[in-house]
Each structure stands twice: as C-alpha cells, then as structure tokens.
A and B are shown apart, each in its own frame.
Chain A
Amino acid sequence: MDVAPPGRAVSDSPPLLETAGLTKRFGSLTACDAIDLRIASGEIHALLGENGAGKSTLVKMLYGALAPDAGEIRWRGEAVSIASPAAARRLGIGMVFQHFSLFEALTVGENIALALPKKAVTHGLDGTIRTVSRQYGLPLDPHARIADLSVGERQRVEIVRCLLQEPRLIIMDEPTSVLTPQESEVLFETLKRLSQEGVAILYITHRLVEVVEIASRATILRRGRVVGTADPRAESARTLAGMMVGSDIGAVDKPEARMTGAERLRLQGLTLAADRPFGIGLQDVTLGVRSGEIVAIAGVAGNGQQELFDAISGERLAASDDAILIEGRPVGRKGVNERRRLGAAFVPEERLGHGAVASFRLSDNVVLTRHATRDAIARHGLIDKKAATDVEGRVAERFDVRRASPDPRASSLSGGNLQKFVVGREIDRAPTLLVVSQPTWGVDAGAARIIRGALIGLAEAGAAILVISQDLDEIFEVADRIAVMSDGRLSEAFPAGSLSPERIGLLMGGVHHQHDGTSDGEAGHAA
C-alpha cells in the first residue's frame, strides 16, 4: 500500500478537504481557534488531542452539524458552506459518531434507510446491508432492534450506514473503542482498502498505537489550536502522547508483584437471567478478588459486563444471597447501599445518567453515592450540604478536575474531567473494594494516567479492585490478573504476565481451550 506522503498533494492538485482559520466559539470558550487542516484523497489522517482539545467541534463543523464562526472549508479547492449533515453527505463526507446517533426504537434497517437519500431506499436494502456489513467483517441483522444491541453492535450500524453512502471522506470518531483486537484488525484492513480506493479517512482516536499502525499523517490539537502535524510512522506512541498533552508522559508506575490479602469480593456461581429479549444473562460466574490486587475483566461490549456490574453493585439482585460475598458477607439479595456500607464502591460505565446526574451540581452528585454510607453527608434523613461541598472540593483538587467555577453542574465538565470526578468521588471514601467499569473510556491520556494511578494507589493501600474494561492496553497496564467475559460466561482469572493480547482475543471470542499455536486471528470471532 502506498499512500501520499505529507506535502505531495499540495503541489499537484488541491487537497480533498482543506480548512483555513476555522473557528468556533461557545460563549467565552473558543473550542476551535483558527484551525488549518488539509486532507488528501486516499490518506488516513489521524486527529489527535486530549478531551476538550476541540476535535469533536472541528469534525462537527466539517460534517455540517455546527456552523463555524469564522474561517472557511474548501472541498477540492472550492470554498463551500456545509449547512447540514445532509449537505455534507451530498458532498461525499460521511461520519461515524462516537456517541451514536441511532433511534433505539427502530431496527437496524430502518435506521440506515433514514440516513440514505430517498431513491436509494429500496426493497433490496436489507440484502445490501447484509452484504456490505459482512464484506467489512461487521455482520449485522437488518431486522434487529437498536435497543437490543450492545454498544459494539450499535457502532457497527453506524459504520455500515456510513459505508453505504459511498463517501469520499469518512470521519471516524474512536471507531475501535468497542472492538476486539481481531475486529480492529479487520477494520484496519477495511480502512486500508478504502484508502487504496482513494477514500480519505479522518480518524479520531486516543489509541496512539493505532495511529502509529495505520495513519499516514497526524494533526495534533491542544486547547483548540493545531500544535503540530507529524508523520506517525516516524514517531512512537509515546512521543505522540507527549505532543498531545504538551509534556512527556511516563507510564504508570506498577511494581511487579503486590502483596495480596483477604478475599474482599467473591462471586460464587452467579447466574442471572437476561432481563430483556436478546439480552445477555450471566452463567455460573465465579471469581474472587483479594485485598491489594487489581483483577480486570476483558471482553467486547455486550457480553454481559453491564449485567455483571449491575449484579455486583446490587442494582440487580441475584437469585440467592450466597452468590455474592463482600467482605465474606452474603449480599446477593442486598441493595446497593448495604454493599456500600460494607466498604464497596462502584463506578459504572455511563458517566451521565448513571454515575452522575447531568443537571445536578457536583456536590449533589457527591450525595448520589454517599447519602447512606455513614459518611456524615446525610444524617437523620437530612443532607449536609457543607459536607458534600467539602467532598466536592477535595475530589476536584486531588484528581485535578478542571471546572470553570466551584461546584458546577456535571453537564458542564468535559468527559475526562467528569470521569476523574466520578472515580475520585468513590476513592475519596477510601473503599476496601472498588468495582469500576470502563475507567478511562473516552478519556484523554492525561486523565487516564491520573485515574489508573489512583486505582493502583488504592490497591497498594490494601483495597481489592475489579476493573471491567474493553481497553487491553489499560488492562495490561493495571491488572494483576485478567479474566475474560464472553457471552455471559467468565473465564478463569489468569495472571496478567501469562496472557498475550492474542490469547485474550481468543477468549473474547469464546475460545477457551485453544492452544495459541493452532489458531489464527480468525478463530476468535468465528463463533
């Protein structure tokens, strides 16, 4: 594969897409400040930056979802005004969103039909969806209802919907965050093929390793400005991260072996029926987490991780008390606050609407998990606002939560900062057991480092930590033992050092007893 080296397109012909001085302000915040960007046909162009660097704003302007305040966009050398996503699609710009823009009540086919021009919607559409989705290794059932699909499957719908429009430029916002390594590889092959066909790809990701692997050019944003462009093939993930956060990033310090102590969490044959049609149930899940260790559960989204989290936190009750032990006490039928009082703390995957309430101030979000924990946040049924505000200030300071004013609404924080707050709120309780789902999903490198460091610090202080994550880099960075979730079953927890990413990929696909030598990447998701 040969892609255009940086600079070549400039001299020959105008680039496919170019922006000059593109600016967008939200009130007093300049989200994008005079952005100059050029993308040539057939190149895979990575857009890098921390949360809040302006990446999403920039691509929303390119996709017609936001109108720029100043500057211009040129498409094949001509200044254009992209008034709406439909206009962007007519030009040949397609987008795969990070936060999915799907109607939950409709089927896959209906959602795709909605995005296509009227004349393209025919009776053959279902067949086309099947063919195209299979062709790109993202199989889909056109009749499945979105509400029943996992996060990973929803993303497939987004990608396939975009591909069906035969775009000249595809904007992808964190496309691999919910895929297995093998699926990511398939996607990369797809992207490379599209690139050879002359389709340009603007690829937004936090996974620097991927940038190095597939991108031919990278533009790095920081605080709304372009701080540099690089040829990723000449860089390493670490140097790119340094450009992104503006300082050299060190890996989190992890000692080789931690002392482990008493078992603080025990799952014993935990079985849970699926709570919706096509949902995933839990089957005979058994796991122990000891004081001082971090156990990670890897797996592709929608294989029962959410159900497992809900069962451990007590948001869904198990069939018997003995299925879940916290500090040796049977709690399978006990509520979430009873478990919190035993020293457990929980951080769910969804920040807004689950771990925090968007319209509430941070101090009220402190009350959310601490009103029944003997924390003096609430006594005799009355809330102590002062105590809650103190916690808010303490967490913000300790976890570097950047906020415009003291005690703002949760909705005003960027994703990374809110995640630091939600994790920090629980760590502030000094829990003896922390269960955290996707601790750094959609979070920038700086925030991820702070969060992972805090998890490791907590484990060293003697807490037991269970991390549910789809990010293998993260898992290898923090975990002492790794178990893999697939189709509602949990594998044995293996010492982290004894597992390769490939082996985990196989376990994710439900292949539990395959020897590494006898299988290739395909076996992982053949099931």
Chain B
Amino acid sequence: MRLDLVPRPEPSGRMALLSPVIATVLTLAIGAALFLVLGVDPARGLYVYFVEPLTAGWSLVELVVKAAPLALIAVGLALCFRANVWNIGAEGQFTIGAVCGSAIPVLLPDWQSPAVLPLMLLLGLLGGALYGAVPAVLKNRFGASEILTSLMLTYVALLLLDWLVRGPWRDPGSYNFPESVLFSSAATMPVMGEGSRLHWGVLFAPLAALLAYLRLGTSVQGFAIKVTGAAPRAARFSGFSGGAVTLGVFVVSGALAGLAGIVEVAGTIGQLRPTISPGYGFAAIIVAFVGRLHPLGILVAALLLALTYLGGEGAQVTLGLSANVTRLFQGLLLVILLGCDTLIAYRIRFERRGRPAAGEASRG
C-alpha cells in the first residue's frame, strides 16, 4: 500500500475552495489535541477560542476592528505574492506608516483642522510606500533577496518606533511611560457610534479589496502582475519589466500596510506606543494565503484570523493559556493550508504495491 500524488489534468477549482476548509478543520483537530496536552478540556478550549468571541456584540465589533488591518495588509501582500515577489516586511511598512502619519499630531499637537486626518493618512500611505520601495530597489539594483531585506527592515522599523516613543516623541506628561501624546480629536478616526470602538477606518479594507479585485481582473497592470508571477520570461516577451512590477507591487503593498498602520494608531490606539501591532504584518501573510490570494477571499480570511486573536485573548483570561498559543494556531493554519494546497494540482491515490489491478484508473 502506498500513497501516490497524481497530477490533475487541470487544477481543481473545487479543491481550491475546499483546501482552506480542510486546513481549518485539521487545525482545530490539532488544536483540540494541544488543549488536551495543556490540561484544558478540548471542547471548552475550542469554544473559548472560536465560538465565544462571536457571542457578544462588543466582541463582534472587536472582530471587525482587528480584521480590518489584516485585510488591508493582506490585499497588498496578495498582489506581491501573485507576482512571485515575497514581501515579508509588511509589519515594518505598517510601523513606518504609523510613525509617519503620527508625526503631525505628535509634532503639531495644537493644530486643529479638518485637514489633519487626511494628511496623516496620506503620510502613512507615503511612508509605507517608500519603506516598501527599499527592498524592491535593492532587489532590482543588486539582486538582493527581498525576503531577507524586507524582513530585516521590519526590525529596523520596530526599533525606530521604540526609540521615538522612549526618546524624542515621548509625552512629557506621561510620567516616563514610553508613549506619545494622546492624539487630539482632529487627529483621531471618527467612530460610527458614540463610545464605540468601531471607527470609519475599517472601511478602507473592503474598499482596497474591491479596487484590487477590479484592477487584478481587468487592467493591464493586473495582467502584468499575474504574468510576471506565472512566467517571468513570458512577461518580458509581453513587454513588462520585471523590475517595474516588483517595484510596483512593493510600493502598493507598502502603502496599504502603511495606511493600516496609521489607521490603527489614529483609530484604535489613539497614540504611539512601543508596540502598536500584535503581529498584523505577519499574520496578514497567512490571511493572504487562506484567502487564496484573492482580494475578496482575503476579507473572509481576515475575519478568521481576527477570531484567533480575540479567542487568544479570551483564552488568556479564562483559561490562563499563553498568548503564544494564538501564534501557534496561526502558524499551524498556514502550514497545513500550504500542505492542503497540493491537492489543488494533485490528487491522492492509494495504490497497492506492484502492478495496479485492471480498471484502477476508472476511478479517475
């Protein structure tokens, strides 16, 4: 008896949709086993993680607030990954976007004008875009692997933020806490209801997803991204420059990550702190793949990943589990998903040793 992977004549559309479902179920099963080992009742563990956050109004709001930056970043990453360009540094672009946009409320705290918030968003976009352009330029110019440079630049960005809020940008009235001044109302995302944490900034995610979906499907630029990813030689033959595509997707995904960063500090946090993201930039990689690198699929996947964040917080409180369990879940999901994706291009066949019996193939 052995397992054979038999190539399918055409990639299976059904499997492309089923693979995230299978991966989710497997992740839950492994999670249950994990709870058992940690001494937690698996049923209760899974309930706290994946069901409880859906049972209260406030946590549904929180789900959307957490899913929005994930989706916004992942839409940009999907463009990169479609072009076979590996931007692993969204966390850094997110951070730089937040820092650049925050420059206005931090340096000009008394400037109250309707222009403040749009300017902050613009600076966030620009900062993320420029920071995203760095690995692209290094790759085009020197052939440096964008995987390494974009990842390493993330730590540069995180340390820059850390230095700013502990040093020059620290609020003098903060009793030495490492944080900036609280943003004024002009520099804060308006919320959808009095006292709600649901701010208008969450709408950037579906907007970006819709735009990306349309551009990817119908524009020549979207076509360039897809050709470059599928066959670089054919892309050159088609008249597209690989370097320009690399730069383009890095700039766009950097801009979206930067926008997510400034929306996060201006909408959810209200000031700069040493840590402004629970790893959104990395989790968004998982979101992009779980969403099939499809802008609309990403919206769904972002909600799923947001759920693991919320469930993780709940598990810390009610079950006393470490926050690392959340990352474990996220990592498991990605690894299992990539494994399941094999089934899109291949099917599994059980085969007895030696010659197959006649009629074996009729199953195909």
Binding site for B on A (CB under 8 A): 24-27, 29, 67-70, 81, 83, 313-315, 335-337, 340, 346, 348, 350, 352-360, 364, 367-369, 371-372, 378, 381-383, 385, 408-409, 411-412
Contact = CB atoms under 8 A, between A and B. Distances in A.
A61 B293 CA distance: 38
Contact of A353 (B223, B234, B239, B351): B234
Nearest to B356: A67
Given A368-B237, A409-B10, 4 more contacts: A69-B356, A314-B239, A358-B231, A371-B239
A69 B361 CA distance: 6
Interface string B215-250: 000111101001100110110111100000000000
Contact of A81 (B220, B236, B355): B355
A173 B112 CA distance: 77
A81 B238 contact: no
13 contacts: A25-B361, A29-B9, A70-B358, A313-B237, A355-B234, A356-B234, A357-B227, A359-B230, A378-B220, A383-B218, A383-B219, A383-B223, A385-B218
Contacts, number: 91
B225 to A, nearest CB: 13
Contact of B227 (A335, A368, A378): A368
B230 A357 contact: yes
Which 6 A-B pairs have CB atoms at the shortest separation, nearest pair first? A337-B239, A69-B361, A25-B361, A81-B355, A70-B358, A357-B231
B143 interface: no
B220 A364 contact: no
A81 B352 CA distance: 13
B220 A381 contact: yes
Interface string B351-364: 10011101111101
A372 B355 contact: no
Given A69-B358, A336-B237, A353 B10 contact: no
A409 to B, nearest CB: 6
Contacts of A346: 237
B83 to A, nearest CB: 13
B234 A27 contact: no
A412 B364 contact: no
B221 A381 contact: yes
B223 A364 contact: yes
Interface residues of B, number: 28
A346 B234 CA distance: 12
B234 A368 contact: yes
Contacts of B360: 69
A355 B221 contact: no
A314 B351 CA distance: 50
Contacts of B236: 315, 336
Contact of B219 (A355, A356, A381): A381
Interface in B156-196: none
Nearest to B349: A67
A356 B221 CA distance: 18
Interface in B323-364: 351, 354-356, 358-362, 364
A313 B354 CA distance: 51
Nearest to A409: B10
Contacts of A70: 358-359
Contacts of B355: 67-68, 81
Contacts of B226: 360, 364
Contacts of A29: 9
Nearest to A348: B237
Contacts of A383: 218-220, 223
Given A83-B354, A383-B220, A372 B361 contact: no
Contacts of B234: 353-357, 368
A26 B356 CA distance: 15
Contacts of A354: 231, 233-234, 237
Given A26-B9, A69-B360, A81-B355, A382 B219 contact: yes
